Structure 1
Amino acid sequence: MDDRQDKKKEEYIFGLDIGASKMNLFVGISEGENVRVVECGDFPLKNADEYDSVVETLQQAVQVIESSTRVDVRDVYVGIAGKHVRSFSFQGIVTLPTGEVSEEDIENVKKQASTVPPSAGEIIHVFPGEYSLDDEEHIRNPKGRSGRRLGVEVQVVTARQNAMQNLAKCINRAGLNVAGFVLEPLAAAYSVLTEDERELGVALVDIGAGTADVAVFVNDSVRFTTSIDYAGNDITSDISRCLNVPISLSKAEEIKKKYGTCVISNLIEDETFPVPAVGNRGDVRCSRTLLARVITARVEEIFQMIAEKLKKNQLDGIINGGIVLTGGCCALEGIEDIACRAFGKPVRIGRPKGMSGIQEAYQNPSYATGIGLLYYANKQQREKKKSETGAQIAVSVKKGLQRVIEIIKTYL
């Protein structure tokens, strides 16, 4: 019997990553802290800015996935990123009524710190940093400690409300429900970062087609997020304009994937590649060295812009775990060497890890966000079950005590 038929419907988890050039719909099954990938739909997206195009592609993705897995896709965790996503740092402080930090006090101080004005947008995530208790600082978990005033610094990630509403509309029109929006570099971090990196301090740089999104982790907490509007599509556009023959963007993208590199020194002198001329006039030979220089110039600019943002926010000195690159642009040969020079830090390519199932086919940086969404969904479901189990135990204990009291009253 097919293993998928033995699984309950609620045990399946779904992650949806809608990028500027493609859409990934992942199906997984929870295996404790691990995730087993059941299937992934990888669909090119003709126009990510066109509402009907996104809905149509998503409907196609759902149809294909449901047909191949025989599982109904309904509640999906959706990645979100872009310039409309912003990050704010706020501080909160509360007086402790009992003189000892309780779970309620921790929730209250986080809530106070994460009160943002309506103009800031819709809150997606609140990431608490370190706590302070009176004069003592840098406390990871203050619960149970004695003191008078509890403080915390939180990182609040928001998104433009209408952008989230429009994305939710697309998903609803395709017959799906949004289980939650997830910051894309946060999702990617779940699938590519190690515990040591998150603890020491690491910047995850996710370079897709439309944007380069960044999240900085220190002491296993998100400290900073940002996004820039320069990424893979800009590299493709440069290729289209800068070669010595006019070519379409689709052809430029094909050339980038087939002949693109960031390692100029490895190229043979006068090495060329064929480019179809306009109007069926035959092939024109183009310099691969020129192509590499065009690509490298834009990649260097992207990394320098990110490095400047990290420095401006005084984060370059605390990223002791280095830089982890992920996203579709990581397929460019030698991109990590350019990043290493730009950031002055050790750099590695982040590939999805720790999963089982169809892992070999998807151990690719371009799938980091989609698979990370499954890890995030898995964590949310496990925490929900744990909370529900705790509540059920509390109710059972209460009922048990009431029953004992009734028995005692009967015999008194």
Structure 2
Amino acid sequence: MTIPFDARINLTPEDIPKRWYNLAADLPGLKPPLNPGTGEVAKPEDFEPIFCKEIIRQEGSTERYIDIPEEVRDNLIYLNRPAPLQRAYRLEKYLKTPAKIYFKREDMSPLGSHKGNTAIAQAYYNAEAGIHTLTTETGAGQWGTALAMVSNLYDIKTTVFMVKGSYLAKPLRKTIINTYGATIYASPSEHTEFGKKILKEHPETTGSLGIAISEACEMAANDKNICYSLGSVLNHVMLHQTVIGIETMQQMEIGEIEPDYVVACTGGGSNFAGLTFPMLGEKIRGKGFKDTQFVAVEPRAAPSLTKGEFKYDYGDTAGFTPLLMMYTLGSEFIPSSIHAGGLRYHGMSPLVSAAYDTGLITARSYDQTQTFEAGITMARTEGIIPAPESCHALKGAIDLALECKEKNEEKTIVFCLSGHGLLDLYGYEQYLDGTLPSSEI
């Protein structure tokens, strides 16, 4: 069999981006974070109890491009960057669709997901600032895994608060995080005052990302030698992830690919932003992607874009963070326990929220039974078992391909395979034996 030219489009290490792209430079009317105590625009010092200064600077930056330090670029090579862009020929054949389907392979990192792109940057900047202890939250465990591993590169100790529902459903995540040398607790925990409060009020809770963020922030705020590291939502995280989209744009140019749809899953927004923001910037500036539709896919268990309200809200449950202008279900909202734990967040990135509010992107949501069905389909056609989070993007891409089939339209779909599901097989087992519960709210 002759391998088609665009079956997999690879780049070389020299092609790893030298600059991150910042959508805040091109998106007008962004509303700044507010100090919850005064109601005034948050100042850099409002973030200093939990973040190092360079992270704070990037968070508030409106520069279009920010240079990637050479040490960070070098370490991105070890995360298997640049990542391939691959065509899903067998999936297309199975669907009998005239559409072309491509996927960006963030699953091939040794960490198993895209999360290392920002973990390396954040660990680097904290180490440069003399910080050698970090705290963080994690949902499904991909972010906690990423920060635990890269912390070793910079002699950093890490404590991870993992949402209890995922902690219990994915016990091997604890093993991996411990193997990388980090400490992990199920959240809510007895290790913070807020965790104790939640356990007292809701002893049977499965937790939430908002609660886990609160615990990590509390631990950082109480010790000047500890900083907090975030895996999604805030602007600096979106910034670091744009290596995904910048690479993808290079690969689409090589393959002469003009996407009609660009699709990614959304929880806090990091992999969606990483794939789409560089393209959205081109679209806003009139340089390309004029007719491309950008589709965010979220779980029906936590549908912040499709059912949330666009307003100021806390990024965590306890109220440690500044108020953020975002689509939110409410900072006290605790979603049902689903296998796509990385998408169980009450709000959406302020930048993704602003893009949605201005009509630059669209959104759709799915129940987890629908997304696992899509995951099975990909496993049996392309041989890849996607993470439950990635199954949302996959489901969105499949539905768009089937719409093309109904209309007999030869359109092109690009989606982000944000991670593999080899530590999520219990969810697949539940789907296969018919015991996977619905996740709709």
> What range describes the TM-score normalised by the shorter chain of this pair?
under 0.3
TM-score by length of 2: 0.24
Structure having the higher strand fraction is: 1
Which one has a bigger Cα radius of gyration? 1
